[in-house]
Copies of this chain bind each other. A is one copy, B any other.
Amino acid sequence: MIPQDMVVYGQNECLIRVIAADAAKRAAEIGPDHVYNFTIGNPSVPAPPAVRQTILDLVANTDPVLLHGYTPAPGDFEVRKTVAGWLNRTYGMGYPPEAIYMSTGAGSCLAICLRALLLPGEEVITLTPYFSEYKVYTQAAGGVLIEVPSDPDTLQIDHAAMEAAVNEKTKVILLNSPNNPSGVVLRRESLERLFQFLRQKEAEYGHSIYVVSDEPYRALVYDGVEVPYLPKLYRDTLVCNSFSKSLSLPGERIGFIAVANAMPDFAEVNAAVNGAGRALGYICAPSLFQQVAARCLGMTADVSVYARNRDLLYYGLQEMGFTCIRPDGAFYLFVKTPEPDAVAFCERAKEYEIFVVPGDDFGTPGYVRVAYCVDTAQIERAMPAFRALAKSYGL
């Protein structure tokens, strides 16, 4: 009698949250120092001090009627202008303020963009592994998510697989770099090859194929790896950004969509983004944090902690015999499981008080995601447990 897809979305909570709840329960039983919880992508590094200072300053010194009042639906105009200017300076773009839609975090960006672009039955292609909610947002917008396996060794684009997947019904290519759950950054030359192919297909089909770039981890990269700015390489691109990870504000739900104004149907796509935001119930992005984001643009939380954690885990686990994908960004390590069944591996890991999530939830069985946005001390404490786990598999 009521929509069963919604019931199922509500009942089948994201597996990550289920295992995280197990970890929390176990921590209550034996003490948090004895549990190695690598489940959740909640930044462990506090927001930069400037964020706290900015909130205190705004709240103490701004008329609350203005500070907490409605902004226009796509955001406060000065905030949009500031974000556009920053993107233009940073990436050599020419966004007008109207191309920026301040959003309630990256989740809302994706739900809005897909609702704005998809006609019933149209296809969204994404690379495995991918964030599980992509399927939910695609289906809720009436579309079909097509999973294209990445190159199994590098998790870069497998061009043969990608080219085989694109067809007349392809409306969106949804890319996520740095990637959750692998930390992999897509390389410029590989992206250029993909985009050249897409341009050919756009010409052949006579309609646009949009790239939606989900990039909440853009600011979290290591060793100076380049994260190409996709709208510079491909005209029909919508960027979904978020301050959740860069400013360690995941609960505050603040981000933005930038619609590339070079695209020929910019006015229509931009209107549809605004319309989809309206239809999904987003009145405006949270007003205080619109101001905070504008004042803290370009700042990042202290990501050196994540870099240190990555090195400890990546080199440590490899030395134990695990096969790991090298993460260039984000705060996840994607580890090949020594048995094919990653869910079984996660169960065995729990015997060593290690809580990680299976790649199955990311469309990639045979792997687990280790979220290293944790205290470095937890990683150090966890190392003997990982070693014992490795030994139990004869590594």
> Which one of A13, A56, A286 has the highest number of Cβ atoms from chain B below 10 Å of its Cβ?
A286
- Does the CB pair A46–B17 fall under 8 Å? no
Report Cα–Cα, A47/B69, bound state, in Å.
10
Of B116, B251, B275, the contact of A286 (CB 8 Å cutoff)? B251
A56 to B282, CA, bound (A): 26
Scoring A residues 33 to 69 as 1 if CB is less than 8 Å from chain B, else 0, what string do you get? 0000000101111110001100110011001110111
Whether a CB of chain B sits under 8 angstroms from the CB of A280 is yes
Residues of B within 8 Å of A251, CB to CB, are 67-71, 284, 286-288
Do B250 and A68 have beta carbons less than 8 Å apart? yes
Q: Are A64 and B40 in contact (CB under 8 A)?
A: no
User: In the bound complex, do residue A47 and residue B59 qualify as a contact, i.e. CB atoms below 8 Å apart?
Assistant: no
Contact indicator B1/A207 (Cβ below 8 Å): yes
Task: Name A137's contact: one of B17, B71, B111, B279 (CB within 8 Å).
Answer: B279
**Residues in chain B near residue A117, CB distance under 8 A:** 2-3
Whether, in the assembled complex, A198 has its beta carbon less than 8 Å from a beta carbon of chain B, the answer is: no
Q: Is A272 an interface residue (CB 8 A)?
A: yes
**A274 proximal to B (CB < 8 A):** yes
Q: How far is the CA of A7 from the CA of B116 in the complex (A)?
A: 8
- What number of A residues sit within 8 Å (CB to CB) of B? 83
Assembly CA distance A119 to B3 (angstroms): 6
> CB of A8 within 8 A of chain B?
yes
- CB of B71 within 8 A of CB of A46, answer no
Q: Is the CB of A286 within 8 A of B118?
A: no
State the oligomeric state as a number of copies: 2
0/1 interface trace, chain A 278-302, chain B, CB 8 Å (1 if under): 1111111111110000000000000
Q: Chain A interface mostly helix, strand, loop or mixed?
A: helix
CB distance from A391 to the nearest CB of B (A): 34
Contacts of A5 in B (CB 8 A): 275, 279
1/0 contact trace for A197-232 toward B, CB 8 Å?
000000000011000000000000000000000000
Q: Which of A101-109, A156-164, A329-337, A345-353 contacts B (4 or more CB under 8 A)?
A: A101-109
* B64 A275 Cβ-Cβ under 8 A: no
Find chain B residues with CB under 8 A from A119 CB.
1-3
The reply to whether B70 and A250 form a contact with Cβ atoms under 8 Å apart is yes
Check A275/B68 contact, CB under 8 A, given A281-B107, A281-B110. no
Q: Which residues of B contact A104 (CB under 8 A)?
A: 104, 253, 281-282
Q: Name the segment of A147-155, A262-270, A359-367, A380-388 touching the other chain.
A: A262-270
Assess the A208–B270 pair: CB atoms within 8 A: no
With a cutoff of 8 Å between Cβ atoms, the chain B residues found around residue A40 in the complex are 70
User: What chain B residues lie within 8 Å of A252 (beta carbons)?
Assistant: 68, 286-288
Please name the residue on chain B nearest to A289 by beta carbon.
B286
Known: A68-B248, A249-B68, A251-B287. A6 touches B275 (CB 8 A): yes
Chain A 53-104 residues near chain B, CB threshold 8 A: 55-56, 59-60, 63-65, 67-73, 104
